[in-house]
């Protein structure tokens, strides 16, 4: 792993490239030598998110694992994120990675805490990245976010094609999703509708496959996108 110093250098270089579509970078608490208290984790998260903002990027606020370890309740999640958001300028994205990818995040965002966090300041919280490995749940959360003009990105590789097309659980013929309206993220115009966008890590080969799939979608070939990604 690069560690935060290595990632910070990458963030600064990305900012210097003046990328036409901008960039997103994760802010986490992984640089702490020990688990740390909630206050210590918040401080590290703020430092990293501010550095990403200063470089011109959009911070993706990765989960604070200390909350799931201590089995924090719904209200505590909301207050921790309220404090975190109050120290950032925005825009930001909230990450919700499920236990299939990170077992220590079992029961993260309990109750309605995710929905309440997303509703704290929609002008600042422009969306979320979901890695829940649950199409039905992501669909439900996406529709709630759509009502606030918030963007949902998916990190769910297993169901990626279906989520990009907005195909809900059950048999359905591939179709090009309908764009209902547009919103803005860091100066970029982003389409909204009953479908997810993609925000994934991975190899160059995986990125090229995704790019090819999106080219098929642009050409109106929803079945082609699905065949490539599945």
Number of neighbours of residue 6 by Cβ within 10 angstroms: 10
Question: How far is 51 from 34, CA to CA, in rounded Å?
Answer: 22
By the 10 Å C-beta count (0-12 exposed, 13-18 middle, 19+ buried), 179 is classed as exposed
pLDDT at position 213 over 80? yes
pLDDT given at position 162: 93
Question: How far is 116 from 36, CA to CA, in rounded Å?
Answer: 25
Over residues 117-141, the mean pLDDT reads: 96
Instruction: Give the tens place of pLDDT for each residue, 174-208.
Output: 899 999 999 999 999 999 999 999 999 888 889 99
Question: How far is 41 from 30, CA to CA, in rounded Å?
Answer: 9
In 3-state terms, what secondary structure has residue 148?
coil
| Global confidence as pTM | 0.93
Phi and psi, residue 158, nearest 5° = -60, -40
pLDDT given at position 171: 65
| Residue closest to 95 by CA, chosen among 15, 154, 161, 48 | 154
**Residue 133 DSSP label:** S
Question: How far is 43 from 174, CA to CA, in rounded Å?
Answer: 45
Dig out the tokens for 31 from the structure: 């640089």
Instruction: Give the tens place of pLDDT for each residue, 6-57.
Output: 888 999 999 999 888 899 999 988 777 666 788 989 999 999 999 999 999 9
Question: How far is 17 from 30, CA to CA, in rounded Å?
Answer: 26
Tell me the angle at which helices 74-86 and 38-54 cross, rounded to the nearest 10 degrees. Answer: 40
pLDDT given at position 173: 80
- Are 212 and 204 in contact, with CB atoms under 8 Å apart? no
pLDDT given at position 4: 81
Q: Position of tokens 């918040």?
A: 42
């Amino acid at each position: 792993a690069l560690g935060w110093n290595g990632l910070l250098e990458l963030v600064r270089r990305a900012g210097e490239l003046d990328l036409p579509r901008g960039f997103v970078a994760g802010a986490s608490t992984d640089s702490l030598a020990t688990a740390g208290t909630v206050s210590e984790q918040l401080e590290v998260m703020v430092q990293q998110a501010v550095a990403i903002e200063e470089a011109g990027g959009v911070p993706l606020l990765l989960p604070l694992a200390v909350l799931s370890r201590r089995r924090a309740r719904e209200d505590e999640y909301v207050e921790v994120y309220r404090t975190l958001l109050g120290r950032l300028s925005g825009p930001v994205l909230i990450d919700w990675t499920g236990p299939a990818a990170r077992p220590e995040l079992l029961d993260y965002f309990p109750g309605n805490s995710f929905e309440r966090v997303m509703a704290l300041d929609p002008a600042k919280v422009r969306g979320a990245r979901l890695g829940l490995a649950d199409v039905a749940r992501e669909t439900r959360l996406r529709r709630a976010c759509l009502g606030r003009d918030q963007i949902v990105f998916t990190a769910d590789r297993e169901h990626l094609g279906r989520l990009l097309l907005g195909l809900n659980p059950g048999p359905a013929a591939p179709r090009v999703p309908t764009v209902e309206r547009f919103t803005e993220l860091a100066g970029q115009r982003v389409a909204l509708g009953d479908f997810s966008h993609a925000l994934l890590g991975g190899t160059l080969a995986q990125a090229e496959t995704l790019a090819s799939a999106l080219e098929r979608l642009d050409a109106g070939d929803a079945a082609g996108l699905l065949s490539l990604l599945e």
